[in-house]
Amino acid sequence: MFRRVFAVAAAACAALPSAVFAQSASCVNPQPIGLGDTSFSNLVGYDEQAVRSDAGFGEDVIYRTGWFAFTPDVTARYMFGLCGANDDTKIALGVGCPSDPFTAWQTLGYNDDTCAMGSGTGLWASKLYPGNSGLSLNGELLAGHTYLIAVGGFAPSTTPIHGALSVEMIPAPINPCASTVVATIGANTLPMSAAAPTLSTQCGGVLSDMYFTNYMRFTAPYTGEFIASSCAQATDTMIAVLAACGDGSTVIACNDDACGAASRATFSASAGQTVYIGVGLHAASALPPATLSIALEEAAPPVDPCAAIVPVGLGANAVALNAAMPSLVIPTVPPESVYKVNYVSFTAPQAGVYRVANCTNSDFDSWIFVATQCNSTNAVIAVNDDGCGVLGGPSRLQFFCEAGETRVIGIGAWSSIDPLPPATVLSLTFLAPPADRCAPTNIISGVVGANTVPMSIAYRSLDLTGYCDPGPAGSDAIACARIIRFTAAVSGDYTVGNCGDTDPNGTGAVDARIAVLTDCGNPASVVACNDDGCTAGAAPYTARLVFTAVAGQTYYIAAGGFDETVTGPLHVTIEEPAPPLKPADINRDGRIDGADLALLLSNFGGTGTGDIDRSGHVDGGDLGLLLNAWGS
């Protein structure tokens, strides 16, 4: 971890005497202090001192300045406070004395107005710590090195300052996710550490920082909506509910100031789902209490969203919506929550591609998804937001169904705070029958080099179960499988893959699977298959395999997706073996004999196999070259 350390020059240290001096206006006679509180009282005759930083506040003046010296025993971050002083104060920390009071002193930290004075509640007293205003004292102070502290008033008219200068060591940052508190329904005590890091996350559509964030983990005992709140105390907090501890990009719900300065967040969770509830402070200038009481309660009695699913059919369907339904987390990247999800079912009258939409409800900011089961995160096969072309509006998607197959369609709100309309209109349309991947018009003619493979959900999955395992994740099927027909010109090892494809938006557009067959569409004829061979399980999840081909034999390369979210197009490259040392050795078995002659004659007048001179045609010139090399 990078550590910013405030070091002290040897000359600066040498200027400080080792004896204990009385508090003084002179920088060379500072009063030594240690951890804890040191009482002081500046005098009327103390000089002003100009202070400066090349970053932060620029230049300012501290009036009737008293000087202190602090030598830490431990390298760490520290806090220096004048909270409770009698009047409006300023404080600065640095090394090395200025040449005179009118020469600006280069500082490491400066603050004005962070904490309250003793005579009132105004934030006019001063404190230095990581994150303070002015010039933040973020770095560590080195053990054994001496630092100078200037303490004084805000203005020439300020009363001479007296009070206590407090010094505290700030613990090193911790990993609050290493030992999260287990939360249950009811009141939970959450220990708060000032060494916990800041969490940055989207809260109400705005990127926000939660300071000193500590975590509880909660496993939902059933599917429903829950409320996490810090409303039992007045501490100015923020609450975020996350799918992954400490990862602000996985936010499910977030709130600031729902109950005064305290917070309350409502979130949905499925039975057995674990979420992490982060609680932090709104302001970096505050310090957390030792503990906070965090209440977890049911937002409403649990509702079974699958108890009365209404069937829908082709055409327009009026669907009543119940706002009491629980939400569902969709496993997109990052995960998205669909709020107040209502479900309907659809049974396909024939096999093919269907479209579901609620585009007529232009003012309904909705999500739509299609799944194989009701209220199951892992059963979602297609999802859409704003597919009707209106930003913040209705949704539309396509999906494939076999004849007589039933799909569950979920429709819900984009936001947890937006009201759900009492009803919506779901339109279901049949778009196209299944496409025959092996029909001559649908087969792609493969060539050595790049081959473009358009994707369409009209093509059924190619199920390799029992014949070939593409990889450790998911099923053994290639979704939306297209066929590239390829005839090997030479024998040897061929490489096939879409490693050059990219997926900048992280949508799974090129998450490919590839297989090689000897019989079009027949999984029993599979030669090789692969998933993620280019990337070893990392994005963009492109595929690559190597197979051994025989010259003149035709192979069928199936290219498709890990699932139906693949949109492509895929750019599948076929690489043939390096040219042989003996060009006339057509089958590359090391001998030029009758087997090579048979291959050449079987393709005489054609292209590819037997084109020894690479003229583009198999003709007499190639035959002459083969006969001249016969037996070699």
Say which amino acid occupies 327: S
Token output for 576 = 């043939």
The total number of residues written for the chain in this structure: 632
Q: What is the mean pLDDT of residues 158-167?
A: 92
Instruction: Tell me the pLDDT tens digit for each residue of 405-463.
Output: 999 999 999 887 778 899 999 999 999 999 999 999 999 999 999 999 999 999 999 99
Residue-wise pLDDT for 283-309, tens only, equals 877 788 999 999 999 886 667 899 889
Q: How buried is 128 (Cβ within 10 angstroms: 0-12 exposed, 13-18 middle, 19+ buried)? A: buried
Q: What is the pLDDT of residue 20?
A: 36
pLDDT value of residue 353: 93
pLDDT of residue 589 exceeding 50, the answer is: yes
What pLDDT sits at residue 23?
Answer: 59
Q: What is the mean pLDDT of residues 536-559?
A: 93
The whole-angstrom separation of Cα 215 and Cα 570 is 43
How far apart, in whole angstroms, are the C-alpha atoms of residue 489 and residue 553? 8
pLDDT digits (tens, 9 = 90+) for 192-226: 988 888 898 888 777 888 989 999 999 998 878 89
- In the chain, the percentage of residues whose pLDDT exceeds 70 is 95
89 pLDDT above the threshold of 90: yes
DSSP labels, 48-117? PEEEE-SSSS-EEEEEEEEEEEE--SS-BEEEEE-TT-SS-EEEEEESS--SSTTSPEEEEEEEES-B--
Q: Which residue has the higher pLDDT, 171 or 441?
A: 441
pTM above 0.85, yes or no: no
Question: Could you say which DSSP state residue 160 is in?
Answer: P
Strands (E), 554-621: 554-561, 570-575
**Does 11 score more than 60 pLDDT?**
no
- For residue 4, the model assigns a pLDDT of 45
Summarize pLDDT for 50-85 with one digit per residue, the tens.
998 887 788 899 999 999 999 999 998 899 999 999
CA geometry: angle 567, 569, 572, nearest 5 deg: 130
Quote the pLDDT of residue 580. Answer: 67
**Burial of 76 (C-beta count, 10 Å sphere; 0-12/13-18/19+):** middle
Q: What mean pLDDT value characterizes the chain?
A: 88
**Using the 8-state DSSP alphabet, how is residue 150 labeled?**
E
Residue 79: predicted pLDDT: 94
pLDDT at 132: 86
* pLDDT confidence tier of residue 10, bands split at 50, 70 and 90: very low
530 and 542 Cβ atoms separated by less than 8 Å? no
